[in-house]
Chain A
Amino acid sequence: MSVLTIVPKRRRRSIIARVGWPRFLQEIGMLAPAIVLMTIFLITPFLLSFWTAMTNQPLVPRPTPVRFVGFNNFLRILNDDLFWTSLWNVTRFTFWVLPVQCGFAFVTALILNQKMPFRNLFRGMFFLPAITSMVVVCVIWGTLFQYPTGPLNHIVVSLSGGHIQPIDWLGDPNWAMVSIVLLSAWQAYGFQMIIYLAGMQGIPDELYDAARIDGAGPWGRFWHVTMPGLRPTHVFVLVITTIQAFKLYTQIAILTQGGPNSSTETVVHYMVRAGFEEQKLGYASAVSVILFLIVLVIALVQRRLMRRFDV
């Protein structure tokens, strides 16, 4: 160590001396478009949201100057019952959609992971809803949910032998969120299915062979080889699905507008209503800061969990 400090430090040659001007300018020119665009359209609005959140900024410029209001917006949000309802609703949505969507994705992945003819065709079919736009999904499910004579009601009534009355899927406060869960899970499960399939195919065949030699049946191989091998995949899928769930918006805006009785109000829908319809951009920015903090916490928890599972 001491020997090294005696030797005078040789100054690093500057980049221009090393590569010359033309190369330097070319590199800047190739990197700049991405950096400039991200600065304008991602970093600036992100930083601006913290500032706007502390002002009474309106959507359309007014003659009166924009005032700094400190944490007032945040205080008003935290005192608004509708905000807590929307937060509770997305939490509820998350807890329902996680088992339905990931469960269905996991089961289809297990089925498709077996050796069978036409496997690629089936995988393509199961993945089809995932490439369908949410707007189109809303048109389709809007008809499926028709009350009282839509297809889903038809199935429910005939399966129960007439014991269950037709359900007003989107109009009944007790059912509206359930309906949104069904539709959302159907649209998005393909993504989780593909992630699970990739995880299952990443488990080496030798482990299954070894388990077979040790006398493990299909059930034993599932519990002692497949499930432990999928632990990082489970964590990843759960976190991705949770973040998606907290951003729930499109299907709500199209099908229920947060109703009936605010039973499907969500954080993003609440934000858009405040900012766009009521024109209170400052207030809406404060909601978006809260949304960012929620997503950040989930992402940090994921990183923690992934590290624990040594991924």
Chain B
Amino acid sequence: MDEKELQQSRRGFVKKTTALIGAAVLTAPSANAISLTNPGRERGDARYIGQEGKRFGMVIDLRKCVGCQACTSACKSENRVPKEKFRTYVPEYELGTYPNVHKAFLPQLCNHCAEPSCVSVCPTGATFARKDGIVVVDSEVCWGCGYCINACPYDKRYFNPITNVADKCTLCAHRVDHGLLPACVESCVGGARVFGDFNDPHSAVSKLLSSFPTTVLKPASGTKPRVFYIALSGEIQGLPYSPNVLDDMARKIDGMPTTREWSTKGE
């Protein structure tokens, strides 16, 4: 079996496994029910429990996003995200036909879903939602099987090559738990990213939700994301893939690693 075939057979294996786990989830009453015990949660560690009574999330006002990638860089710096990995990123699109073309930006991060499919597939209990809704991974418990990475319909988890376990956006839980804001929000140049508590009707996020029509990504996936978008163009959802992801192509030419979150499909 050459390398390519090996890859394909592995992919096939993944698909089957996923389907199997998917079926199991269907029979489970809720995501929490299949979460296994986790020592941190059992001993009531605040990092695991989160802030009771709150429901954190984000509203992203796309009218204010300028696609500057300050969030991307702030996150990488704050969270020591390994090279070639991202917890958040802002893809940029062109919509329309010359000369009637417009730019579109879509800041993306973990949606901290109310029904997180990543949690339901975790065989170890390493990934779970805190009581304040922040979905986290316990890197002590995770053994890096990768099911959650495959299960996330948003592709917002990655394999951390340093810790050898699954990794993802924590909404900067370490900052939020200390009364601060997530790094991406702190550094959002246009002021598009608004973080807050959806349980508080007076919070900025609640007010935005009640004042503007909002959309979530892939509503049909049933995950109930808690990252909402104002003025998200319907055209972006379900866009075709780029024929080639050119950055990856340039990296390949240079002999640089290309195992990136958005590596070209079918490459």
Do the two shown chains form a genuine complex with each other? Answer: no
